[in-house]
Amino acid sequence: MSIKWTSELITGIDFIDRQHKAFVTIMYRLLEAMKNGEGKEELPNTLRFMEFHAIKALKAEEEFMEKIGYPGADFHFTQHKHFHEELAALKDMYSQNGYTVSLPLTFQRKMGDWLHHHVAKTDVILGDYVSSNKKIMEEIS
């Protein structure tokens, strides 16, 4: 799955869209590095970003859902939990085997899946809920 910013990823919730753009940027940087034969140097940066920023972003989303009493929160949280597990598995692979050519490819594939299966669907549904709820829109604007 390709990793690029497209309109299908837009949730309409500013802070979430900004976080997703940063996610796409960092994954694109890894892709470019791989093309230039610099994947080995870039991968630790990508993992660091995921560990700090992406995890923080998921937490911020979860707090937001709790704050607005989002009815789809449980299902959404389950997918976030799965992301944590995928990321932990990738980090384990890296710490056990070090850099392998297949690792950034696996990483790209899993993060691409995340964008297309979670961001473009579950996060967009959250965005639709927010934009159709006038009271929430007033609170967050």
Residues in contact with Fe ion by CB under 5 A are: 61, 123
Closest residue to Fe ion: CB criterion: 123
Question: Smallest gap, in angstroms, from Cβ of residue 76 to Fe ion?
Answer: 6
Q: Decide: 76 and 126 in contact? Cβ < 8 Å.
A: yes
Is the Cβ of residue 78 or residue 102 nearer to Fe ion in the bound state?
78
Question: Smallest gap, in angstroms, from Cβ of residue 21 to Fe ion?
Answer: 14
Q: Decide: 94 and 47 in contact? Cβ < 8 Å.
A: yes
Total residues found in the chain within this entry: 141
Distance CA 50, CA 92 (A): 14
Is the Cβ of residue 42 or residue 61 nearer to Fe ion in the bound state?
61
Question: Smallest gap, in angstroms, from Cβ of residue 90 to Fe ion?
Answer: 18
Is the Cβ of residue 107 or residue 114 nearer to Fe ion in the bound state?
114
Question: Smallest gap, in angstroms, from Cβ of residue 116 to Fe ion?
Answer: 13
Is the Cβ of residue 62 or residue 93 nearer to Fe ion in the bound state?
62
Within the chain, residue ranges assigned H as helices are 14-35, 39-49, 55-68, 73-97, 102-113, 124-131, 134-140
